[in-house]
Structure 1
Amino acid sequence: MSVQIKTVRTPEEMGLSGQAVLHFLKQHEQLGIHTLAIARDNKVYSFAVKPFTTDSPHTLFSLSKSFCAMAAGLAVAEGYLTYEDSLAEVLKDSLPKGYDKALHEVTLHHLLSMSSGLDEESDKASRPQADWAKAALGYKVKHKPGTRFHYNTMGTYLAGRMVAQRVGMSLRDYLMPRLFGPLGIDKPQWDCCPLGYNIGGFGLHLSVSDIAKTAQLLLNGGVWGKKRLLPAEFMARATNKQVDNEDKTDPDFHPDWSQGYGYQFWMARHGRYRGDGMFGQVMMVDEKNNLSLSCTAGLVMMGTEMDAIHELMNGLLSLPKLDKTGQEKLIKKTTNLRVRAPKDGKEPVFGEGTYMGDDGRMLRIETPDADSLRLKFCKQEDLKPLWFRFGRKKDAQSHFQPFAAGERPQKTLGRFGVKDGTLTAQLMMPEAPYRMRVTIQRIGDQAIKVDMTSVGFEEGSFELKRVAP
């Protein structure tokens, strides 16, 4: 059953056009892509923007949902569940007193296709509770199951709980011998709810190489080598439209979120389908053209990312191939991709002290020595301020606890420089999309101007006054 995935240096070795990759990098190098992998015919072409790597795990956010659906499909094929099993029946031990009896009409199919009809408030309001399932099942069914699409991460969690209840183990453990192991994904990590169940709807950590192997499995119709890993019925259900999701009244309308929804997969333009996660995690599959593209990222404008991915995939198939000189240019270009450190003119660090804005926003600047910087961000209503460390000559390493319930701490890399009177501090997380770039300028002796750009944090320009040394 062993399948040898061959790593290639250029798309031309896969019968594709490297010119499309060069065009993509020229147009979108600042988009926020961390890693990218193209897979077809058991070959993978990939690159990473340092410090990110193609083999390091990365938080997938909602791309995790597609893997939860795979566990459900396997559980159905093995007789533990059916797609028509009732949510309320399988999780009867989690039903609260006075629950809505309409929950008996909600099935695994409805949860996987995001058409359960469960009150939209059940999604985020359930997570501060200790028992997420009991909290979510305390909400009403507002729409007849199967009639209306509503994206609900808690619905995926409930589907995962149904699987765990019937198979008697976690989603991760259930998938190890059935999916992860055969694909050569040795030790995947999946975050858990307060009761210890894998979250299902987010929290899976995989490298882009792992995602690419999964995409190759999907291109193969669920078959790996000579063995079927994903059931044929599941593949037919998951990768085809189960419910309509078009809503042109949405102010953020984009065609890639209106092509229909399968089982934890979005239908996409050009006959493709995908799993995706917040801040740019994507696994796009094009069965017709035997092509897949996977990426991890740290970006906000996912509509722009989708447009860029489709353009890249179309170009891979249609543009002229690079000659040997062009291929060497591409190899050099992708080898040297990196997030640049802030410019540093070796000017003295300035501004140590505590600064406050009229809205209660606070920034504490500490400079233990000429090559070290600590920033503390806080608002008056915050119970837990954010502390970050930055190094001048090399990255300062620390950890950050993400905001979402269930997410594990993330390693941080912080770097700063001072040039032309501006202090610039940059924070990255090599296994997550979160990032921050802060510039600080003096306004006289007692105030500073702070400009922040970020993924996952606050953004904006603020003037703060010194309140303490």
Structure 2
Amino acid sequence: MINHLPAAIASLNPRSFLVKRQGRLLFEHYRDPLLASEPAIINSCTKSVLSALICIAIGQGLLPVPAVTPVTDFFPQLKADADIRKRDMTLQHLLTMTAGFRWDEFGGLNSFPRMTREANWIAHVLDQPLSDPPGTRMTYNSGVSQLLSAILAEAAGKSVARFAEDTLFRALGIEAYEWETDPQKIHTGGFGLRLRPADLLKLGELMLQKGVWNDTRLFPAELAALAVRPFAPASPPYEGEYGWHWWCRVFTKVNGGQDALPSSRDRKPVDYFYAQGFGGQFVYVVPEAELVAVVTQDSRKRKQPTLFAELIGPIVAGS
């Protein structure tokens, strides 16, 4: 099934495309060979790296159980907020983007660009009014990712980048990276990380292996499972469901190949999860197929269709 890929890549013309299955590299493509060694912006895939770091911190006892830990433990100023519902906000609500803040990433409110123009991003996010009670609706929000980055830095007693080096990057052999910070020098939780495509692939492999790398457990398997569990349906214009800063979807595999008119009994749902970043950055993980894939692009379109059906689905369908 791998033979179809060059034609698909030719039409897509990505910066890079890598597929690994059962530990074997099936395909590795770079628009320019130099791109293999160049850390590239991964945009919101940064969120999924942060998710792995949060799992590590929980596993080390640096952070408490997210589902029952109020955000006021880290930002006590919320106790004085006029909207008492903010006191019900938990760490898990931040991880699943169900905190309830009134936020429109790039739409009418233009919330994300507004945040990046503020002198204090954390204060700005905490000051936003609620549109929903915490836990009731997923709203895509890079502001809550910045709150998580601040929480992680406080819990670890070091910068997020240093914590990443000590607990994740060194273990995965990631040496080349760049990471932006906000005005308070807190590393950006929702974007701003640059990684090489092959290193981004390692993140997917780590999640496929449920927190284990080279026979060493970096975080508990139950946390790896929680991170990619669908907690809430995505709010339009986003699709699928959302976990702990990972997207979750289902692909319909037709047993026995791509039949033109398959019966319902031939259809088999296959769960997968993925990281997604602005401009067409993706890390796909298909546990059933033991497959991980990375796509990086440099599109300027805000809405990026998932490329799973075109590039990854045929491999899964043929398995």
TM over 0.5: yes
Greater RCO (CA < 8 Å, at least 6 residues apart): 2
CA deviation digits over 1:81-128, x for unaligned, max 9? 220322222123x66975643322111100110100012155443321
Q: Which has the higher helix share?
A: 2
Within 2, Cα distance between the matches of 1:117 and 1:59? 29
The CA deviation at 1:279 is 0.4
The answer on 1:102 being equivalent to 2:67 is: no
Match of 1:436 in 2: none
Q: 1:113 aligns with which of 96, 106, 113?
A: 96
| Matching residue's letter, 2:56 | L
| 1:162 CA drift (Å) | 1.0
For the 8 Å contact 1:31–1:299, the answer to whether it is kept is no
User: Who is 2:247 aligned against?
Assistant: 266
Unaligned runs of 5+ in 1: 1-16, 251-256, 321-469
Q: Which residue of 1 aligns with 2:287?
A: 287
Question: Residues 123 and 299 (structure 1 numbering): CA distance in 2 closer, same or farther, change over 3 Å?
Answer: closer
The alignment's TM-score, normalised by the length of structure 2, stands at: 0.84
1:338 paired residue number: none
**Number of aligned pairs?**
291
Separation in structure 1 between the aligned mates of residue 154 and residue 195 of structure 2, nearest angstrom: 25
Instruction: Output aligned runs, 1:47-196, within 5 Å.
Output: 47-50=29-32, 53-82=35-64, 83=66, 84-92=68-76, 98=81, 100-120=83-103, 123-196=112-185
What is the distance in 2 between the residues matched to 1:265 and 1:49?
A: 27
1:60 deviates by: 0.7
Give the C-alpha shift of residue 286 in structure 1: 0.5
Aligned match for 1:43, one of 14, 24, 30: 24
1:31 matched to 2:31? The reply is no
5 Å-filtered alignment, 1:196-345, equals: 196-245=185-234, 247=236, 250=237, 257-270=238-251, 271-300=271-300, 305-307=305-307, 309-318=308-317
Shift of 1:314: 2.6
Contact 1:36 1:294 in 2 (8 A): yes
Displacement of 1:177 after TM fit? Answer: 2.2
Q: Distance in 2 between matches of 1:316 and 1:159?
A: 36
Please tell me the root mean square deviation across aligned C-alpha atoms, in Å.
2.3
Structure (1 or 2) with the greater strand fraction: 1
| Structure 1 residues 131-171: Cα deviation after superposition (integer angstroms, max 9, x where no partner) | 11111111222211110110000011101111111111111
Partner amino acid, structure 1, of 2:215: K
Offset of 1:40 from its aligned partner? 2.4
Identity fraction in percent: 24
- Indicate if the aligned counterparts of 1:35 and 1:52 stay in contact, CA closer than 8 A: no
The code of the aligned residue for 2:3 comes to: Q
TM-score normalised to structure 1 length: 0.58
Q: What letter matches 1:65 in structure 2?
A: K
1:226 deviates by 1.4
Q: Which segment drifts farther, 56-65 or 119-128?
A: 119-128
For the 8 Å contact 2:78–2:86, the answer to whether it is kept is no
Is the Cα contact below 8 Å between 1:20 and 1:316 reproduced in 2? Answer: no
1:372 is aligned to none
- Code of the residue aligned with 1:22 in structure 2: it is P
Question: 1:354-381 deviations in whole A, cap 9, x for unaligned?
Answer: xxxxxxxxxxxxxxxxxxxxxxxxxxxx
Cα displacement (A) at 1:211? 0.8
Amino acid at match of 1:80: L
* CA deviation vs aligned residue, 1:271-329 (integer Å, no higher than 9, x gap): 1110010000100100011111101101256877524x323223234569xxxxxxxxx
Q: Residue 188 and residue 115 in structure 1: after superposition, are their counterparts in 2 closer, same or farther (change >3 A)? A: same
Greater shift in the superposed pair: 310-319 or 258-267? 310-319
Give 1:32 shift: 4.3
User: Cα deviation per residue 1:203-257 (whole Å; 9 max; x = unaligned)?
Assistant: 010011001111111221221121111322221111110112254xx5xxxxxx4
